[in-house]
Amino acid sequence: MQPSSPHRLQLFCFPHAGASALGYSRWQRRVSQDVRIVPVELPGRGRRWGEALCRDIGSVVDDLAGSLRREIAGPYVLFGHSLGALLAFEVAHALRAGKTPIPVALFASGCSAPTLRDSDRYAAERSDAELIAELSDLGGTSAEILANAEWMAMTLPVLRADYRVCASYRPVPRLPLACPLHVFGGRNDETTRDRLAAWSSETSGPCTIDWFDGGHFFLHDAEVELLGLIVRYADQSLARQRSEESRAGQSDTVARL
């Protein structure tokens, strides 16, 4: 049984490659106080700066699933952007395997479905200049930050480690998740419609796709709209879950009469 919580919902947020959980800290101001935003911090950055960076998908997922098991209290959802979406998906499977109640919903943003990911594209070592050029092409990072040598000296080792995590990923055949899966994409992102649509095979529940103006980091400009949609989908799932539990309880009562 999950411990009780003063919040009606916890929203665990997984960062994209090279980022820390800090980017989600302001989200709490965007939602009602009965929704708790929980930024998920990976080793080697943010408040976990002194820890060793993970370099393969398995070690990251084991670490994060262990952290979430201690944090989960009542209904919760998982959200991730780019690499964060892949981590949220794998953590959901790890939690299910460990008999932790599954999330109310899973949200995958700006990320190809696991079966259509090109992991090899992350395998080659890149110079600092090449990594900075990629960050520039993706958008979402200001020119001032990209030109800040001190900031880049902290960011690029994290990004390299995250690329190794991406390169290590291989999809594993498993039963689909039972929770609803909601997919978000940027209209100008290179992640194509078919790569997002393939997420539908990862759940036995409903799967939706919503599009936003912008490129890979559309979530920055669409923050308010995105969060509103997340909460609305989560509330719909909660209502559906409670309705099913109520019907099951009524059926059980009738069976005992």
More confident residue, 108 or 255: 108
Please check the confidence at residue 251 and state whether its pLDDT lies above 60. Answer: no
Using the Cα atoms of residue 62, residue 63, residue 65 and residue 70 in order, give the sign of their dihedral. positive
* CATH code given to domain 9-118+172-251: 3.40.50.1820
Give me the residue label for tokens 């919503």: 210
Using the Cα atoms of residue 46, residue 51, residue 54 and residue 59 in order, give the sign of their dihedral. negative
> Hey, where are the domains in the chain?
9-118+172-251
What is this structure's pTM? 0.91
Helices (H), the chain: 57-71, 83-97, 128-138, 143-146, 149-168, 193-197, 218-221, 223-256
113-137 confidence digits (pLDDT tens): 999 998 888 888 899 999 999 888 8
Please check the confidence at residue 219 and state whether its pLDDT lies above 50. Answer: yes
Catalytic residue among 20, 82, 109, 112: 82
149-183 confidence digits (pLDDT tens): 998 998 999 999 999 999 999 999 999 999 999 99
Please name the residues in contact with 125: beta carbons below 8 A apart, sequence gap of 6 or more. Answer: 160
The answer to whether residue 82 is catalytic is yes
